[in-house]
Amino acid sequence: MTRIAPTEPPYESQIAAALERIMPPGVLPLVLFRTMAKSPRVFARMFAGALLDKGPLALRQREIVIDRTTARLGCEYEWGVHITFFAERAGFTPEQAAATVTGASDAACWSPDEQTLIALVDDLVDRRTIGDATWRSLTAHFDEAQILEAIALVGCYHTISFLCRGLELPLESYAARFPR
How do residues 139-152 score in pLDDT, each as one tens digit? 999 999 999 999 99
Contact (Cβ atoms closer than 8 angstroms) between residue 42 and residue 73: no
Whole-prediction pTM: 0.93
**Per-residue pLDDT for 49 more than 70?**
no
What is the sign, positive or negative, of the torsion defined by CA atoms of 136, 140, 143, 147?
Answer: negative
Contact (Cβ atoms closer than 8 angstroms) between residue 120 and residue 151: yes
Residues shown for the chain? 180
Separation of alpha carbons 33 and 179, rounded Å: 25
Q: What average pLDDT does the chain have? A: 94
Average pLDDT score over residue span 20-43: 92
Quote the pLDDT of residue 54: 78
Contact (Cβ atoms closer than 8 angstroms) between residue 168 and residue 3: yes
Give the rounded percent of residues in the chain with a pLDDT score beyond 90: 86
Contact (Cβ atoms closer than 8 angstroms) between residue 78 and residue 160: yes
Residue limits of CATH 1.20.1290.10 in the chain: 59-166
Superfamily designation of domain 59-166: AhpD-like (1.20.1290.10)
